[in-house]
Structure 1
Amino acid sequence: MSDRITVEELAELMKKAAGVTVAPAELQERYDSGFDAIGIDSLGLLGIVGELENRYGTPMPPDTERCKTPRQFLDLVNSALLAGA
């Protein structure tokens, strides 16, 4: 298991936890777009955070579920994972 979440993994998590299918290439293009523009609401983001916590067996930072963009989310999650590695 990697100590970093990629755009591809985030796209998979979005489909699994929030039911929103976005191709990784499209997600990369919309990296700085709001999650709401992609179809992810606060409950969907909470589901993604829960999946990550289950996968890594560690809580994510409290601000993770308030991230507005995929870039902000991945930066925060990856920083937390690297700090815990």
Structure 2
Amino acid sequence: MTTEVTQVTVEELATLMKTAAGVTVDPGELERRADSTFAEFGLDSLGLLGIVGELENRHGRALPNDAERCKSPRAFLDLVNVALTTGA
């Protein structure tokens, strides 16, 4: 049985920011400002760590250690999606 790996979207990241870190951000704004820092959206390192943990639980695999050190939504999504699709 194969499990289809789906990529984490901007919308999912915005939802995770709200549920895991209590930071509300409009997905459209997150997409438009994807190269802005997480700090500019009000997300700190502990909030990002919570998001990483939630994604690891959902996908049943560890994400790269660098995921919790990403500075921008674009860098985070790029790293996470490559890891989920390649198993790296």
TM-score by length of structure 2 reads 0.92
Aligned length: 85
Q: Cα RMSD over matched residues?
A: 1.4
**What is the alpha-carbon distance in structure 2 between the residues aligned to residue 16 and residue 2 of structure 1?**
22
Select the structure of larger CA radius of gyration: 2
Percent of aligned pairs sharing the same letter: 67
Which residue of 2 is the match for residue 65 of structure 1?
68
Matched with 1:74 is 77
Residue of structure 1 in register with 2:24 after alignment: 21
Structure 2, gaps ≥5 residues long:
none
Q: How far off is 1:2 after superposition?
A: 4.7
Letter in structure 2 aligned against 1:50: G
Counterpart CA distance in 2 for 1:2 and 1:82 is 6
Moved segments of 4+, more than 3 Å: none
C-alpha separation between the residues in 2 aligned to 1:52 and 1:30?
Answer: 22
Aligned mates of 1:4, 1:28 — CA distance in 2: 15
**Normalized against structure 1, the TM-score is what?**
0.95
What residue in structure 2 maps to residue 46 of structure 1?
49
Structure 2 counterpart of 1:30: 33
